[in-house]
Amino acid sequence: MRDVRVQELRLHRLLTLAAITGSVVAIDLLTKAWAGRNFVGRTVEIIPVVLSFTYAENSGAAWSLFQNAGTFLSVAALVALTIIVASVWSPRPVAEVVGLGLIAGGAAGNLFDRLARGDGAFDGPVIDWIRFPNFPVFNLADTAITFGVAVLLVTAWRSR
């Protein structure tokens, strides 16, 4: 009976991870396509002096670090995704699974760009489109990763 319950909880964690990851990827890809249709070559101020939407291609990582390192970043994303899936095999709090799902979704969303938009297997640029003053342009995948890390940090802090 206990083994059945362990399997049910494991399946629940995996389904939760898959649902969050899939939702983040879908929303990220839809918004990147929308940005590509609406903001190439122009910037639209949404809240003057606070928020604008634009279109940028980034061959690096966050804040345009590691330019032209798409293969390295793609392999790192694949390793991270593998570790995340393996980690939810073990019992963890729901909040942790949510945080991991956000990180996995963000990593997968940006990985999809690298796979689908380049000449080689992993060298495509990532579409960024959200701009705040004095801050690098970013996308919803980046936002999901940031929120996922924040959820994990709060969860770890609260469990002390």
Tens-digit pLDDT profile for residues 1-32: 678 888 888 999 999 999 999 999 999 999 99
Cβ neighbors of 77 (< 8 A, separation 6 or more) are 107, 108, 110, 111, 114
**pLDDT tops 80 at residue 116:** yes
Domain definitions of the chain by residue range? 2-158
- pLDDT tens profile 49-94: 999 999 999 987 776 677 777 788 899 999 999 999 999 999 999 9
Whether 142 is a known active-site residue: answer: yes
Q: How far from 86 is each of 4, 7, 43, 104, 149, CA to CA, in Å? A: 19, 14, 41, 12, 17
Q: Which of 140, 110, 136 is nearest to 123 (CA)?
A: 110
What's the rounded Cα separation, in Å, for the pair 141 and 86? 21
Tell me, what's the pLDDT at 141?
A: 96
Cα 111 from chain centre: 9
* Whether 28 is catalytic: no
Query: Which member of 28, 113, 123, 142 is catalytic?
Result: 142
